[in-house]
Every structure is written in structure tokens, then in C-alpha cells.
Amino acid sequence: MNLCAVLIPVYNNEQTVATVIDQVKGRIDRIIVVNDGSTDRTSEILSLRSDIELISHEINRGKGAALRTGFEYAFAHGVTHVLSIDADCQHNADEIPLFLEKCAEDPESIWIGARTIFGSGKAPLKNRLGRWFGNIWIRLFTGFDLHDTQSGYRLYPLAHLTPLEIKTNRYDYEQEVLLEAAWAGVTLKEFPIQQIYQSKEERVSHFRPFRDFMRIAKVHIRAMVRHLNPFTTLAVEGNSVGEKIKNLAVRELTSHTTPLKASVALASGVFFGILPIHGFQVVTLMFMATKMKLNRPLAFLGVNVSAPPFLPFLIFAGVKIGDLFLPGSIQSVEVSGSLIEKGGAGFLAFLLGSLILAPVAASIAFLISFPIFSVIGPQKRG
């Protein structure tokens, strides 16, 4: 049976926090409030409440740190799911039953309240831009097409959060937790909720557009380094490249994939590595691996076919293969005239040859790897 609590992270919300708590009461039994080092009257107001479970940070550590503290406390006290709600009256507490219904429907997913129903007020430009930016990158890195990755109105299954290694502490935490959860196999889902924004005079916001935008951008840059850089896939035990490749294959086959899927992932990496889209191979592969649910480490192992020392040989092979299919008058080895003409013919040959070589090499990679993976997988599982 799911046991859900509401978590309210608070920082200098003396005007609204009591109202939010009163609105939440009656809709859910447990209310956890994390006072993140408030310096106004918030601490005094919260100390008078007997209907909440109060945790306090001595100094302000950021919204992400407040959420993490609340999650840890809730999990340690038997709560299975936490519904986070902001303390600035920009979330409608009447929608809490909707989250509880979604939790009962699918308790293993993270449920996000997407502010797509027009309510009161219009989102400021900085918020709309941040939402758009976050949506694009979450879609690219995880494959989940969400409309409001900036929403703080979310329901989290705590059992799936505790193993995650999340480094951020401020507004960027809410982006990183989606990335890490999705990569750990947690489904991200959303449903429409009301959008509420007070006037500029009434609104209390601690979001700093430039600074917090840069923090969120840093989260996605770090994600790109971790999950796009093909060399990180070889971060396994082994004294030589050969040993690392073998150990990588064994690890993925015994823990994360099947021989057939592993061979498809490796072949896909080889295909994109040879395609003449140099500079974009890894990004393109990452997007396709996410969409097709391919094993990322093995796919990125395959894309290394375009890295040194193989690249010069691939270029040479592409040109030679392309020459076989070009008319004799424009073959790179026979064209007469300026160096520009020769270079243009050579580039055309390379493009054509690479387009032919990519599927052939991918097919060969699949045919070679599948029987090998089929032998490795069962042996190691046994």
C-alpha cells in the first residue's frame, strides 16, 4: 500500500507558507516542511504549527538540498511516495487528489504536473524560456516528451530515488533528478494541471535567471560528457583496451541486455560512426539510442570506429569505395584540373563511399558480435 506525504521546501515565504499548509490540510495526512535557512518570519510561523513535521537547515542550502533532506526524512519514516509542492501559492492544492490517483494508477513512475491548463496569470518570459530549454534537453537525453520539466509539483516514488547519485543542490536539482531517474529506468509521466502566476508585485521568486539558467545548463553539459563521450564507456576494469572492451561486453550482457540487443546496439554504433556526419555522430547516436532503447555503452563502443587510429583508414576506404560507383569523368583519382576540382571529387567519393560502407560494416559487426555475445552471455550468467 502506498503511503504518500506532501513535502514543502520553504525559503523566505512568510506571506504564503501558512496559506499553502492550510490548503494542503485535509487532502493528505502527512505534511513535511523543510525550512531552508529562512531569514524572515517564516521560522517563527512554522514553529507555531503542530500539524506539520518540520525540518530546518541552519543556513540556506538551496531548493534541491531541501528536497533531498525531505526525501531522506520521509523514506526513513516509512513514506513510499512524496508529493512536492512549492510554498509560494503557485500550485493548486485541489489537484492533490489527482496526483494520488496517478500514484495508484502507476506507483513506479515519477508524475509531473504540467502547467498546461490556463489558470490565473501568465508565466514570465524567463520561466517560459527555461521550461522550453529544459523540455528539449530532457527529451534529447531521455526520450521522454514532456511539456513542463520545470514544474515543482511532482510525485516521486522514493524507492527509486534513494540509489540515485545527484550532485546539485539548487533549482538544477529538479532537472538532474529527472535525468538520473530516467537513466535508471524510471518512467517519467505527466498530466495537465492549472498554471498559476501572481502579478509581479505579489510574486516571491528566488529563481535568478542567469545564474540558475547556467546551473541548469551545467547539468546538461555534464550529462552530455557522461553519456555522449564514447571514451567514458570504457571506464571498466582492465589493463589494456582489449580487456576493457571484453569486460564492458560481459558487464552489459550479464546485467543490462541480451545478446541480440547487444549486437544491434554495437552495429548501430558502427553505422553512425561511419556515416559522413563527423562532429555529430555521437549526438545523433545518442538520440537514436534513446528512441530505440539501445544499450548505450555498447552503442558508444561501436561509434569508436570513427576515432583514431581508425579514422584515416575509414576516409581512405570511403574514397576508394565511392570511386567504384562514380562515373569515370569525376572519379577522384582520374579527374584533371585544379586541386579544388580534385578535392571536390574526392569529397564526393568519400560521401558516397561512406554511405555505402556504413550499412555494410554495421551488418558485418552484427554478424560477428552476435555469436560471440551469445556465448559470453550464458556463460557469465551461469
C-alpha–C-alpha distance, residues 82 and 34, integer Å = 13
pLDDT in tens, the chain (382 residues): 579 999 999 999 999 999 999 999 989 989 999 999 999 999 999 999 999 999 999 999 999 999 999 999 999 999 999 999 999 888 899 999 999 999 999 999 999 999 887 655 566 566 677 677 778 878 877 778 899 998 989 999 999 988 888 878 777 888 889 988 988 889 999 999 988 765 554 555 555 555 655 666 666 666 655 555 444 444 556 666 677 777 777 877 877 788 899 899 999 999 999 998 877 787 788 778 877 888 888 888 888 888 766 777 888 888 889 888 877 655 555 544 443 444 556 778 888 999 999 999 999 999 999 998 888 765 555 4
Q: What cell numbers appear for 330 in the block?
A: 569525376
Give the per-residue pLDDT at 216: 63
Give the per-residue pLDDT at 30: 95
Place of cell 552503442: 299
Name 273's Cβ contacts closer than 8 Å, sequence gap at least 6: 281, 285, 302, 303, 304, 305, 306
pTM comes to 0.60
Say if residues 283 and 228 touch (Cβ distance below 8 Å): yes
Give the per-residue pLDDT at 44: 95
- Give residue limits of the domains in the chain: 4-228, 230-381
The CATH number given to 4-228 is: 3.90.550.10
Q: How many Å is the Cα radius of gyration of the chain?
A: 26
C-alpha–C-alpha distance, residues 107 and 100, integer Å = 9
